[in-house]
Amino acid sequence: MATMVDVCRLAGVSKATVSRVLNNTGPVKESTRQAVYEAIQTLNYRPNGLAQALASHRSDTVGLILSNFTGSYFGTLLRQATRSADEAGKQLIVTDGHDDPKRELDAVNMLVDRRCDAIVLYSRHMPDDQLVQLIRELPVPLIAMNRYLQAIPDRSIALAQVSAAHMATEYLLNLGHRRIACITRPVHQPTAQARLQGYREALLARGVKVEETMIEEGANTIPSGYEACKKLLDRVSFSALVCFTDYMAEGAYRALSEKGLRIPDDVSVFGFDDAPVAAYMVPALSTIHVPIEEMTRTAFEQAVRLAAGKEAPPIAPFQGRMVLRESVSVVRKN
C-alpha cells in the first residue's frame, strides 16, 4: 500500500503539507492541494488509521460492548448505535461481553488498548459497584447502559424498571386477575431484580400474597420461556402471566397453546420490551415498550460529548410505556 511519503515524493511536497490537505488543517495553496490530490488518486493512497490515531491521540472510534448477542432489542440497539456513531462521524466497534462480567471487563480493556475515544457498555452482569469503580478509573469515558448508577448519573442510562414492572402487574390486577404468574430473567441480573421488585410491590399494594411458586426463571430466550411456562403450568394455576421478555412470552405462547389454553381467554399474557415481533404475534402481545432507540441515542451522544471533553449533564431514567394489544383481557375464571 502506498504511504504518505510516496505521496510526498510524487507531489513534491512535505509530509506536513500532505497532512494539511488530508485533514484540512492549515492553509494550502490551491495548486499544491490539487497536486496532492492527484498524487493520492494515482497512488490510490489511503491514510493508515493506526498511525493517524497513534499520532493524533484520537481514533474517532467508539466501542460498544453488549452483554451478549441475544435478547429482544439487541438488533434495534445495534441499528441505532450504528446510526448514532455515523452521525457523530465516529466508527463503531462492536464487541461481545459473553454474558460474563470478567469477559465484559476484558472487552473494555481491549477497547481501551485500541484507544477508543469512548465506550458504551450494555452490561447485564457486572455488579454496580464494580462498574462505578471501573468508570472512575478508566482513562476513557464509559457510559453504562441498563443501569442507574446514582453515584455517577452522567455515566449511566437506565430504564425505570421497578415502575415499569409495577405498571404491567397493576394493569392485570385492575382487570381482576389475582393469580398472576411471572417468568423472570435470571435473578442475579440487576435488571431482573428490579422488575421482580415492581411485580411484588404491585401485588402487595393490592393485598395479594406473592407466592414464590408463581415465579419461574428463564434465560431470555424463546426455548427458556417455553420451558418455564411448562413448569408453571404443571405446578400452579394462573389466569395471567407476565414475562420479563417478549422472547420468553413467545415461548410461553407455545407452551400455553400445547396445553389447549387460549390467550387471552384462558390466560392473559404480558410481555416486556416491545420487540418487533410483539405486534405480529397471534394474538398480538401486550407489553412494556422500552425506548431502546432513544436510550441508545442518548448514550452515544453522551459518549461523544464526553470524548470531546465537553461537560455532560446527568441523565434521568427513561420510562417504559404500556402497549396494550390483544393478549390481555379481564379475568374469566380464577
Query: Which spans of this chain sit near a copy of itself (rule: CB under 8 A)?
Result: 1, 46-51, 53-54, 59, 68-70, 74-75, 78-79, 82, 91-96, 98, 109-110, 112-115, 139, 221-223, 226, 250-251, 253-254, 257, 276-277, 280-282, 284
Cβ 156 to a copy of itself shortest distance, Å: 24
Which CB sits closer to a copy of itself, 201 or 293?
293
Is the Cβ–Cβ distance between 225 and 71 less than 8 Å?
no
How is 160-200 classified by DSSP, letter by letter? -HHHHHHHHHHHHHHTT---EEEEESPTTSHHHHHHHHHHH
Best CA proximity match to 216, nearest among 180, 190, 191, 261: 180
Which CB sits closer to DNA, 28 or 295?
28
Cβ 163 to a copy of itself shortest distance, Å: 29
CA 262 → CA 35, 55, 255, 267, 323, distances in Å? 74, 64, 11, 7, 20
Residue 29 contact, options a copy of itself, DNA, none, Cβ 5-8 Å cut-off depending on partner type: DNA
Residue 56 contact, options a copy of itself, DNA, none, Cβ 5-8 Å cut-off depending on partner type: DNA
Cβ 126 to a copy of itself shortest distance, Å: 18
Which CB sits closer to DNA, 112 or 277?
112
Name the one residue in this structure whose C-alpha cell is 442475579.
188
Is the Cβ–Cβ distance between 256 and 228 less than 8 Å?
no
Calpha distance 153→160 (Å, rounded): 14
Best CA proximity match to 128, nearest among 160, 150, 107: 150
Binding residues for DNA, rule: CB under 7 A, are 1, 3-5, 12-20, 22-23, 25-33, 45-48, 51-52, 54-57
Which CB sits closer to a copy of itself, 211 or 266?
266
